[in-house]
Amino acid sequence: MRQIAILLFILLMAGCTPQTQRVDIMADDEQAAAPAPTPEPTPAPYVTEDIFVVEAEEAINLRAKSSSSSELLDTLKPGDRVRVLGYQSQRFAKVRRLSDNLEGYAIAGYLKAEDYGAFGLTVVQPVALYSYEQMMADLAALAGAYPGLCTLESAGTSAEGRELQVLLVGDAASRHHVFVQAAIHAREHMTALLTTAMAERLLQQGGAADVCFHILPMANPDGVTIQQNETIPAGIAGIYTNDGVKGLSVETGALYLEQWQANANGVDLNRNFDAMWDKINTTADASFMNYRGAAPGSEPETKAMVAYTERYAFDATLSYHATGSAIYWEFGQDTAVNAASLSMAEAIKGVSAYELIGDKGGSYGGYKDWAMLQKKIPSVTIEVGTRPAPLMEAEFSNLWFRNRDVLQAVAAWVQGR
C-alpha cells in the first residue's frame, strides 16, 4: 500500500491520471520526457544463466514487444520463475517463462534474482535502504580488501558535516581519470548501492589499465539520511510545513520523507550548478525537491564536487540517477563535447541497452551540465530503474545486470580516444 500511495502522489504532482494497469505505468523521468517506445527492439547481449522470480503485488504483463501498447501475450504471476534473455532499450527485459517456455517482454524491475549469489559480490549486498553508514562501511571494507588497487579520499563535507567519501579504483598517477557520482538526489540512494557494487566488480577484475575511477557513491548523504527517517527531522520541519502550505506536497509524515530529493538545506543539488542556472524556474523557497538554491554553487556539496572535479584532469564523468532507463548525453552548444559524450553513451549502451536521449531543453543546473558546459568534459547521466524512486530492493537485479560492465566499457572508451 505504501508504494501505491507513493506512485499516486507522483502521478498527481505530474498532473497525470493513474492508469488501470499498474505494471505498465511509465514512471516520470527526472531529466526529460520518457523515451518513445522502440517498435522493433533488439535484445542486448545474453545476460546470465541465472533464474529470476517475479516479485510484484499482482500479476505483471507479458507482451509481444517491449512496449506497454504491444500485444498482451499473458501475465506473469508473483513467484513465476523466468530466465532473462536480454534487456531492452527501455524498461523491459526479454524473458522465457520456465513452466512453459513462453517468451515475451516484461518490465525488468519486477524480476528479482532468485539467488543473490548470481551478483558475484562478497562485500556489497542489496538492501532496500542503503544508508550512509552502510556505504562508509562497505567502502572501508573494499579499501581493506584491495589495498594495492584502491584508496579512499575525501571530496569535502556536506551541510551537516558528513564526509563526501570517494573510492579511487586504480592509480592516482594513471593517464586517464573518470569521475562517477551518484545519489545526488536523496530518494535515489539505490544508485549509491549500485555504484559501490560496480566498484567491487571492477576491483575483482583488477581495475582497468592506466585508468583511475573516482567513485563518489553518495553525493548527498544528508538528504539520504533525511529521506530514510521515519519521522520529520527537526532541521526540515519548517520546509515540511511550507511545502504543505504552498501545496508543493500533498503527503505527510513518512510518505513526504520518501519523496525527499534535496540536501539538508532544502536545495536540489542537481539544480545548483552553474549551468544555465538562471533559466531554472521552479519553487522560490527551500523544498523537498526542485529548489535551485540562492545562487549557483551555494551548497557545500556543490562546492565540493566542483573543487574535486577541478583537482583532476577527468576524461569523462558519469552521473547516476534512479528513474527512466535512459542515457542523457547532450548539453550546450559545444559540438566536440557533445560528440564525445554521445560516443561514450553509445559505448555504455552497448553493455546496458539503455535508450540514448539528447537535450530536449528545460533541464538546467545539473552536475553533468556543468561538467560539459564549464569544463568541456564528456559526460553522461545514466537513469536507471523502471519505477519512481525510491526503488524497491527487487529492482537491484535489473540495475545490476544492466550496469555491472559499464565501468569497463567506459575504461575501454577512454583508452581508445
Is residue 271 within 8 A of residue 280, CB to CB? The reply is: yes
Among 287, 327, 307, 412, smallest CA distance to 370 is for: 307
Q: What is the pLDDT of residues 329-388, one digit of tens each?
A: 999 999 999 999 999 999 999 999 999 999 988 899 999 999 999 999 999 999 999 999
Count of beta carbons in the 10 Å neighbourhood of residue 186: 31
Helix (H) or strand (E) holding 145: helix 132-145
Among 265, 180, 181, 262, smallest CA distance to 224 is for: 262
d(CA 54, CA 398): 12
Report the DSSP beta bridge partners of residue 83: 51, 96
**pLDDT at residue 12 in the model:** 37
DSSP per-residue letters across 185-216:
SGGGTHHHHHHHHHHHHHHHTT-BTTEEEEEE
- Map out the domains of the chain with their CATH numbers: 31-117 (2.30.30.40), 123-224+298-415 (3.40.630.10)
Q: What is the pLDDT of residues 152-164, one digit of tens each?
A: 999 999 999 999 9
DSSP structure class, residue 297: T
Which residue is associated with the grid cell 514487444? 65
Helix (H) or strand (E) holding 6: helix 2-13
DSSP per-residue letters across 154-176:
EEEE-TTS-EEEEEEES-TT-SE
% pLDDT > 70, the chain:
89
**pLDDT at residue 163 in the model:** 98
* Mean pLDDT score, 83-97: 91
Among 300, 379, 285, smallest CA distance to 336 is for: 379
Q: What is the pLDDT of residues 54-66, one digit of tens each?
A: 999 999 999 999 9
In the predicted structure, residue 410 carries a pLDDT above the cut 50: yes
d(CA 391, CA 190): 7
Total residue length of the chain: 417
In the predicted structure, residue 44 carries a pLDDT above the cut 80: no
Is residue 229 within 8 A of residue 132, CB to CB? The reply is: no
Is residue 109 within 8 A of residue 394, CB to CB? The reply is: yes
Count CA atoms within 13 Å of residue 61 on its CB side: 19
The helix-helix angle for 190-204 and 406-415 (nearest 10°) equals: 60
Helix (H) or strand (E) holding 381: strand 379-383
Q: Say if pTM beats, i.e. exceeds, 0.95.
A: no
